[in-house]
Structure 1
Amino acid sequence: MNHLYNVSNVLEMKGFNLSSEVVFPTFLFATLSYLFILFCNLILILTIVLNKSLHQPIYLILLNLPINDLMGSSALFIQLLKNLLTDGGPTLYSTCVSQAFFIHIYAAGAVFILTAMAYDRYIAICCPLQYNAVMTHAHVIKIITVVWLTCLLLTGILFVLLLRLPRCRSVISHTYCDNPTLLTLVCANTTGNNIYGLITVAFSQLVANGIILFTYLQILRACFRSKRSDTKAKALQTCATHLLVYLLLECLGLFTIISYRLKNLSPHFRKFIGVMTFVFPPAINPVIYGLKTKEIRDKIVQFFRRKIN
């Protein structure tokens, strides 16, 4: 069996099997989608960074969301656009592992960043008098550091467990590289990897959903107790927007995880859902937070007015 483990570092990625008439429109649509994601997220990042009035706890936490979205969408689209032009073809194993690593960082980061934002809204709405004392810049930096270190730790262990296993296959049948796809190349017992993966998903979902459920129940309770209708409406609008983004991410991520275990599911549909997980949230997040957040919207409008004038 030793010769089976002497696998080349070059993998073969299966393409989309598109007809020649569809390749160029699909490539053009994918390119425009990526450029739209880049433009919107960079505008949001620059707006927050360049305006000192936005250097507040909620916006400093929010700043991490477009950074994370850019990382995830870039990890996907750079390889995806190449595959569309070449209809698959060879790719280095190291490139595939790098893409998978950043994709998993993106998935974990999106969940934990939205959780940190929910915590900030909970303090702002339920404990407004203590907000400035609790959400200091030092405390915000600690929250952001914990978020990224948790993502790096969970994902790092996942890939250490993966890279220790021998490979005897070299064909990638999915649209992009991730941990489940890379495990299909392995000819060894992957029980430990699967158990750790399930524990990681369960841990992140338990922490994120637990915090968000608690914070939103407390926020709703505070809103209905409030006698000021304008404050109540603003809080509910902010929370509804945040909850919409979180539910969209959760539904796409959950279906992507389940799709790996549904053997009868169409491979094309599985690829489509997998890609949408890295298209919809990065495209919608900056639009929602840029247009629905008055402070950010005003700064963006002022910037473009100055440029036009």
Structure 2
Amino acid sequence: MENYTYNSPILQLEGLNVSKDSTYPVLLFLFFSYLFIIVANAGIAFIVFVDKTLHQPMYLLFWNLSINDILGNSVVVPRLLTDILQPPSERIISYYECVVQAFIIHMFNTSSHTLLMIMAFDRYVAICNPLRYAAIMTNKMLIKLTVSAWGVAFVLVGILLGLTIRLNRCRTLMRSIYCNNAALFKLSCESVFINNVYGLTFTVVLFTGSIGSMVLTYTKITVVCLTSKNKSLNSKALKTCGTHLVVYLIMLLSGMIVIILHRFPQLSDSKKIAAVLYHIIPGSLNPIIYGMQSKEIRRFLSKLFDSKKVLPSF
């Protein structure tokens, strides 16, 4: 007969199943990946913050995306690094710390979609209504869109975790590498029907809205580019929109793989690896893709490194 521990303040994470021979290679991979994510995204965020020529809607929205990548990875990777070095029985976390981690992780997931949706709207206005761009994408509008992106994510995730917190817990082992809503409500012996319904609705609405807005936006941009004989406009659209679309597809495919693998319990180890890569791959590639595409960012870096080569004259 299974022993139950009701509302225990301490939970145990299952974590990654890593063999002894693979422990240090995996540890080094995660460490250097996290280091690169922090340095690259913080660097991009710093450049956008200090360079006034980059105080444009597209770059300011990307600044938010970089901050989101830093937060999302900072609550996952450092914890994984410590858990890998611990035996499974010692991978413990307090319930309240687990809830906070789950909240930030779901905020990261949701904000990735909402921010990229707003960036798609920005590209739509820039390409389809270039003469009205400055009038539409004002500072006031940018603040409203940014607050909406974070605000919608905060409310949706708040309800998601609120429905889980209300449940009494009778288990302590979380079959996950990090805290998330599904792993938390599965600790309960009560009915989780409402949690499943809201979680499924949440996912469907988010992905439908995200994919739908991308399809609609890029369909209109494509029509404008095909009907326009302005080569400069088409070149600008290919550069800015192509970069945004690549970033979106990387994020979307990484998330879809995790969701699909979640339906196959026998592939739990593969799901764990996919969940880790969902954070690492977009967080690593986003600053590279946007950094390489942006002439302004490349120009700033070129000036920075050139200034270091110049020796002071006396």
Q: TM-score range by the shorter chain?
A: over 0.9
Q: Secondary structure at the match of 2:266?
A: coil
Structure-1 residue corresponding to 2:67: 67
Give the number of aligned pairs: 306
- Partners in 2 of 1:76 and 1:197 — Cα distance? 21
Indicate the larger mover: 131-140 or 236-245: 236-245
Structure-2 residue corresponding to 1:232: 234
* Percent identical: 38
Could you tell me which runs of 5 or more consecutive residues in structure 1 were left unpaired when the two chains were aligned: none
Indicate the larger mover: 155-164 or 23-32: 23-32
Q: Secondary structure at the match of 1:12?
A: strand
Q: Secondary structure at the match of 1:63?
A: helix
Relative to the length of structure 1, the TM-score reads 0.95
- Partners in 2 of 1:82 and 1:92 — Cα distance? 15
Indicate the larger mover: 12-21 or 125-134: 12-21
Indicate the larger mover: 43-52 or 252-261: 252-261
Query: Is 1:294–2:295 an aligned residue pair?
Result: yes
Structure-1 residue corresponding to 2:105: 103
Q: Secondary structure at the match of 2:33?
A: helix
Equivalent residues in 2 for 1:206-217, closer than 5 Å: 206-217=208-219
Q: Secondary structure at the match of 2:177?
A: coil
Moved over 4 A (4+): none
Whether the aligned pair in 2 keeps the contact of 1:68 and 1:109 (CA below 8 Å) is yes
- Partners in 2 of 1:20 and 1:200 — Cα distance? 39
Equivalent residues in 2 for 1:55-134, closer than 5 Å: 55-88=55-88, 89-134=91-136
Pair 199,250 (structure 1): closer, same or farther in 2 beyond 3 Å = same
Pair 15,140 (structure 1): closer, same or farther in 2 beyond 3 Å = closer
Question: Alpha-carbon deviation of 1:255?
Answer: 1.9
- Partners in 2 of 1:15 and 1:143 — Cα distance? 37
Query: Is 1:274–2:275 an aligned residue pair?
Result: yes
Question: Alpha-carbon deviation of 1:303?
Answer: 1.9
Structure-2 residue corresponding to 1:28: 28
Q: Secondary structure at the match of 1:277?
A: helix
- Partners in 2 of 1:157 and 1:91 — Cα distance? 23
Deviations 1:268-308 (A, max 9, x none): 21111011100000100011011111112211222232234
Deviations 1:152-176 (A, max 9, x none): 0000000110000010110122111
Coordinate RMSD, CA, aligned: 1.5
Query: Is 1:157–2:124 an aligned residue pair?
Result: no
Equivalent residues in 2 for 1:114-263, closer than 5 Å: 114-263=116-265
Deviations 1:186-211 (A, max 9, x none): 11111101111111112212222222
- Partners in 2 of 1:6 and 1:207 — Cα distance? 39
Could you tell me which runs of 5 or more consecutive residues in structure 2 were left unpaired when the two chains were aligned: none
Whether the aligned pair in 2 keeps the contact of 1:14 and 1:87 (CA below 8 Å) is no
- Partners in 2 of 1:208 and 1:20 — Cα distance? 41
- Partners in 2 of 1:76 and 1:307 — Cα distance? 35
Structure-2 residue corresponding to 1:304: 305
- Partners in 1 of 2:93 and 2:24 — Cα distance? 21
Indicate the larger mover: 17-26 or 106-115: 17-26
Question: Alpha-carbon deviation of 1:4?
Answer: 4.0
Indicate the larger mover: 123-132 or 290-299: 290-299
